[in-house]
Amino acid sequence: MKKIINDPRNYLNEMLEGIYTAHSEMVTYVNDDFQCLVTKKKKEGKVGLATGGGSGHLPLFLGYVGEGLLDGCSVGDVFQSPSAEQMLEVTKEIDSGSGVLYIYGNYNGDIFNFDMAAEMADFESDIRVESVVAGEDVASAGPASPGEKNTRRGVAGIFFVFKCAGAAADKMMDLDNVKRVAEKAADNVRTMGVALTPCVVPRVGKAGFSIKEDEMEIGMGIHGETGIRRGKLEPADQIVEEMLEKILQDKPYKNGDEVAVLINGLGATTLDEQYIVTRKVNQILNEKGIEVHKYFVGEYATALEMAGVSISLIKLDDELKELIDYPAYTPFFKQ
């Protein structure tokens, strides 16, 4: 393991101390616990938006707490859900009487803890909590049949769900409507990733798996979950073709659709490469007659030092388009 860290046991707290130092005008913590992060710019009467999840994905999740986006985030240790109690403390702080919506990725630990936190918030403080669980990684499982639970993992595309719900809440929509918008966004987003190298959890000290120097894994998840195909590394255009085809078929996204696109670096892939990917994505979408309203390129959801990228699309209608364009100001996202 080659990392600029101190004792791995202090990794999380030291990272968070840095966050509170650099972004002291925007975020703080409650309950004397660094892991309970909340906005300093609370807007009275607004529906509160909370997320939570393991660390190791910056700017996900805490980086989207701020104006026009989220109000709080419970922060877990690397790749590990925070506790129900931590999510509860965040919930109590960000509620201003209009209820709270949880938006988080589809992982067992998060679901256990946040469902419990929601019940505790209702029981202890009469706070109405609703949840939208994002799972849009097309490589992780097939689409859910009607009435069945979605088993897909939540990855970078959750950014679009945050963005739309955050804007809706800032426009003072009520809880039911913010939830409706979040669900609509979640239904319309799809993601696929490719990994070139594994990632190392600091407290473990070594990678749990390896990818050979000349290999890649299409569809790998943001904790190193197995993808759909491992093979020789190919040129960027070929990789993009394979990934985008899977994404386009899945929704499907068709001729005449309008989309926003997120090209996301997983941690160790240069912006240069991300733009090379962007170029090819744009070519293919043009050929298919799919109109791109907006590109987002950069690191939005990383997997520690994993090399690789993910591509996310969200199909837009007039409402979602307006919410995507709505201003936001957070430590890691400004527009």
Q: Which residue lies nearer to other proteins by CB, 121 or 285?
A: 121
> Is 23 tagged catalytic?
no
Q: Which residues pair with 137 in a beta bridge?
A: 191
Cα 30 from chain centroid (whole Å): 23
Which 3 state secondary structure label does DSSP give 334? strand
Q: Which residue lies nearer to other proteins by CB, 108 or 255?
A: 108
> Is 223 tagged catalytic?
yes
- For the CB of residue 36, give the shortest distance to other proteins in the complex, in Å: 12
The answer for residues whose C-beta is within 8 angstroms of residue 50's C-beta and 6 or more apart is 70, 71, 72, 73, 74, 87, 90, 91, 94, 100, 101, 102, 103
Buried b (16+ CB within 10 A) or exposed e, 145-170: eeeeebebbbbbbbbbbbbbbbbbbb
User: In what side-by-side order are the strands of the sheet with 27-29?
Assistant: 27-29, 36-39, 72-78, 48-55, 100-105, 129-134
Token reading at 223: 């904790």
What are all long-range contacts of 146-152, with beta carbons under 8 Å and residues at least 24 apart?
150/106, 151/106, 152/106
Q: Which residue lies nearer to other proteins by CB, 28 or 31?
A: 31
Q: Which residue lies nearer to other proteins by CB, 207 or 284?
A: 207
- C-alpha–C-alpha distance, residues 234 and 216, integer Å: 8
- For the CB of residue 149, give the shortest distance to other proteins in the complex, in Å: 9
Q: Exactly one of 223, 251, 280, 315 is catalytic; which is it?
A: 223
Q: Which residue lies nearer to other proteins by CB, 57 or 280?
A: 57
User: Where do the DSSP E strands lie in 79-144?
Assistant: 100-105, 129-134
- For the CB of residue 226, give the shortest distance to other proteins in the complex, in Å: 5
Terminal Cα-to-Cα distance of the chain (whole angstroms) = 36
- For the CB of residue 63, give the shortest distance to other proteins in the complex, in Å: 19
The footprint of other proteins (CB under 8 A) covers 76-77, 79-86, 108-109, 112-113, 115-116, 201, 203-204, 206, 208, 221, 223-226
- For the CB of residue 161, give the shortest distance to other proteins in the complex, in Å: 22
- For the CB of residue 202, give the shortest distance to other proteins in the complex, in Å: 10
Q: Which residue lies nearer to other proteins by CB, 69 or 88?
A: 88
User: Where do the DSSP E strands lie in 135-177?
Assistant: none
Q: Exactly one of 23, 57, 179, 315 is catalytic; which is it?
A: 57
Identify the helix (H) or strand (E) that includes residue 180. helix 175-187
Question: What is 182-234 written as a DSSP string?
Answer: HHHHHHTEEEEEEESS----TTT-S-SS---TTEEEET--TT----SEEEE--
Task: Name the residues annotated as catalytic.
Answer: 57, 223
